[in-house]
Amino acid sequence: MAADKVKISEKLSLFHDHWSPKIVGELNGQHVKLVKFTGPFIWHKHDAEDEMFYVLDGTLKIEFRDKNVELQRNEFIIIPRGVEHRPVAEKEVSVMLFEPVSTLNTGDKNDELTREKLEWI
C-alpha cells in the first residue's frame, strides 16, 4: 500500500458543519480527525481514552471544572481519560484530533451532538 500525503486545507474545505468530526487517517489504532467547532460543546469525559486537540486555526478554550485552558493556532492539549471537559469556541476553530478508534465524540454522554458513525474524507 502506498502512502499518500494529506493536504489539511483541502480536507477542511470539504465540509462546513460543526461538532461533526471527519476521519482523515488511521494509524496504530488511532484515528486522525478534522473538525470545526463553534459555540460550546457538552460537558463530558472519556473513561477509556485519552484525547488530543491540536488547533489548526482559531482559538479553542477547553473548560475543566477547576480551570480553563485557551489554545491558539499550533498548540495542543492532551485530555487524560476520565477528566471531565467542555470545548468552547467563541468563533469558528479548526482542530485536528488524535483519538483511539473507539472514541465517541461525546464520551460518556449521548445526545444530538453524538456522532456514532464518522465520515472518511
Dump pLDDT digits (tens) for 47-95.
988 989 999 999 999 999 999 999 999 999 999 999 999 999 999 999 9
**pLDDT tens-digit series, residues 13-49:** 999 999 899 999 999 989 899 999 999 998 998 898 8
Question: Does residue 24 sit within a domain?
Answer: no
Q: Which domain holds residue 69?
A: 32-109
Question: Does residue 17 sit within a domain?
Answer: no
Give the pTM.
0.85
Q: Which residues in the chain belong to E strands, given as ranges?
A: 22-27, 30-40, 51-57, 60-63, 68-71, 76-79, 86-100, 119-120
Give the CATH number, domain containing residue 55.
2.60.120.10
